[in-house]
Copies of this chain bind each other. A is one copy, B any other.
């Protein structure tokens, strides 16, 4: 990191790294996946799709999520500008979460994937069964 030393792009002494491409770590798709490719983000977004909800409402609706993961994931969705958090000074205080316009856009973009899941997860499940049966046969031979 030497300041003031202009390093021309043509410098060829130290190019052990493969040339970066669109699948390098700074590819937009990759950055998105790093954010939302966990099992909770999409579920939270879709739960908030029909309308705002409160913390414990989300927790009750998304079966199996822990408070920690809900809190953590909501914070990260809020940071990404996909979800808005509002503190309503009732007593006890209530906190509502809602998708932002940006989050709504993403939700729309995810819809095709969700539809595919509803149509095809049965096929995937069958493929798994078939694969496991083949595996078992092979292990019996060996």
Please report A residues at the B interface, Cβ cutoff 8 Å.
Answer: 1-2, 4, 6, 9, 18, 20-21, 23-25, 28-35, 37-39, 42-43, 46-47, 49-51, 53-54, 57, 60-64, 78-82, 102, 105-106, 108-118, 120-121, 123-128, 130-132
Contact = CB atoms under 8 A, between A and B. Distances in A.
B127 A80 contact: yes
Contacts of A113: 32, 106, 109-110, 112-113
Contact of A50 (B1, B78, B79, B126): B1
B23 A131 contact: no
Contacts of A28: 117-118, 121
A20 to B, nearest CB: 7
